[in-house]
């Protein structure tokens, strides 16, 4: 019963592609960290402007009864596997250098789509284990670029003594990022994501773009600082909207929009204890760490506008629904 909404979207996508029987739909999942229900325009935000997300929602579907999970590692495991976190032994949040992660024996949506001939890439926060055996390249992704866990999980560099987080390329640490260098992370993720789309425009692809933003500490890019009416948190939300626009513009430019399913959602609701840096779930009552987590979700599928369903859909729905489209 709980898979119906995303299954309907998947079936609609198949129908829209029926005239081109050999065409497989592209899939883009944009996953934001700690974004609340009321933090973007389609769900009521007014202090920060999100014109690209507004357009995406107008052209697609808003999920107004959507549940993610209380915390990030669980949510990500559910998205990747289609199973509840407890089912795949992901109990909470993984720490850096931990011995545990998503078991490589679990089958992910990336592995399913790769078997169907898809190019696959993960760009952003993975947070399902940072040891080599747990990284995206061992879980169905051809390539990976990102900070493998939350941006507040800094550790002191052995050489400089500065608190840093690693930027991993595939399965190697490419750079150690200071707080100030994190201010370019949305820009760098976006360039990598758009580059992947361009490189794979002639074959089906799956892009998983789990942004580090808007988890604290807040590090909006220089061009976005002071631009919103909601402090640095609103500035970073506006940068995320810019990033979404870059992805959607690339799809339109390459004439891929009408055969690409785009999903935008967050891992859990706002981190309310962070105050002004934590976002909002209004009029919902909950936030991160609670089953009333207050996440938001919208989709854009080929064929234009959809309706906002009046049914509950869980975070575990997208993976199985996407895979059933062509399997």
Cis peptide bond upstream of 271, omega within 30: no
pLDDT at 121: 98
Q: Which one of the listed residues 127, 211, 215, 219 is annotated catalytic?
A: 127
Domains of the chain and any CATH numbers = 4-16+24-323 (3.40.720.10)
According to DSSP, residue 31 is labeled: E
Q: In Å, what is the CA distance from 230 to each residue of 2, 233, 268, 293?
A: 35, 6, 20, 21
CA dist 157 and 126 (Å) reads: 21
Length of the chain: 327
Q: Tell me whether residue 72 is one of the annotated catalytic residues.
A: yes
Contacts for 181 with CB less than 8 Å, ≥ 6 apart: 175
Rounded mean pLDDT for each run of 10 residues along the chain, 327 residues in total: 39 46 85 94 95 94 83 93 91 92 95 96 98 97 98 92 96 96 98 98 97 97 97 98 98 95 92 93 87 78 51 46 37
Q: Tell me whether residue 211 is one of the annotated catalytic residues.
A: no
Query: pTM for the full model?
Result: 0.89
CB crowding 12-34: b at 16 or more within 10 Å, else e: bbeebbeeeeeebbbbbbbbbbb
Q: Among candidates 27, 197, 201, 205, which has minimal Cα distance to 118?
A: 205
Say if residues 254 and 195 touch (Cβ distance below 8 Å): no
Q: Helix or strand or coil: residue 232?
A: helix
CA dist 232 and 226 (Å) reads: 7
Q: Which one of the listed residues 72, 122, 211, 215 is annotated catalytic?
A: 72
pLDDT at 143: 98
Contacts for 311 with CB less than 8 Å, ≥ 6 apart: 4, 5, 65
Contacts for 128 with CB less than 8 Å, ≥ 6 apart: 73, 76, 77, 80, 90, 94, 101, 102, 134, 139
């Amino acid at each position: 019963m709980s898979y119906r909404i995303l299954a309907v979207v998947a079936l609609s996508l198949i129908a829209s592609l029926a005239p081109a029987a050999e065409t497989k739909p592209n899939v883009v999942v944009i996953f934001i960290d700690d974004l609340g229900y009321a933090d973007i325009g389609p769900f009521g935000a007014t202090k920060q402007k999100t014109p690209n997300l507004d357009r995406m929602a107008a052209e697609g579907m808003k999920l107004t009864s959507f549940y993610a999970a209380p915390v990030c590692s669980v949510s990500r495991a559910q998205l990747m596997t289609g199973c509840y976190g407890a089912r795949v032994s992901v109990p909470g949040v993984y720490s850096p250098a931990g011995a545990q992660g998503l078991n490589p024996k679990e089958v992910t949506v990336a592995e399913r789509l790769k078997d169907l001939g898809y190019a696959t890439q993960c760009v952003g926060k993975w947070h399902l284990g940072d040891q080599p055996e747990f990284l995206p390249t061992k879980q169905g992704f051809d390539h990976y670029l990102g900070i493998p866990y939350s941006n507040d999980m800094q550790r002191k560099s052995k050489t400089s003594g500065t608190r840093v987080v690693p930027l991993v390329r595939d399965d190697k640490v490419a750079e150690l990022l200071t707080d100030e260098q994190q201010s370019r992370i949305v820009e760098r993720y976006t360039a990598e994501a758009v580059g992947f789309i361009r490189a794979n425009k002639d074959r089906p692809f799956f892009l998983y773009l789990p942004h580090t933003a808007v988890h604290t500490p807040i590090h909006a890019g220089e061009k976005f600082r002071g631009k919103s009416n909601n402090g640095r948190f609103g500035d970073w939300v506006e940068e995320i909207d810019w990033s979404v626009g870059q992805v959607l513009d690339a799809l339109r430019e390459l004439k891929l929009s009408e055969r690409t399913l785009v999903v935008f959602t967050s891992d859990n609701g706002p981190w309310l204890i962070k105050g002004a840096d934590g976002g909002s779930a209004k009029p919902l009552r909950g936030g991160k760490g609670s089953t009333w987590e207050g996440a938001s979700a919208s989709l854009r599928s080929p064929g234009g506008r959809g309706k906002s369903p009046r049914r509950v859909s869980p975070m575990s729905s997208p993976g199985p629904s996407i895979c059933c489209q062509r399997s």
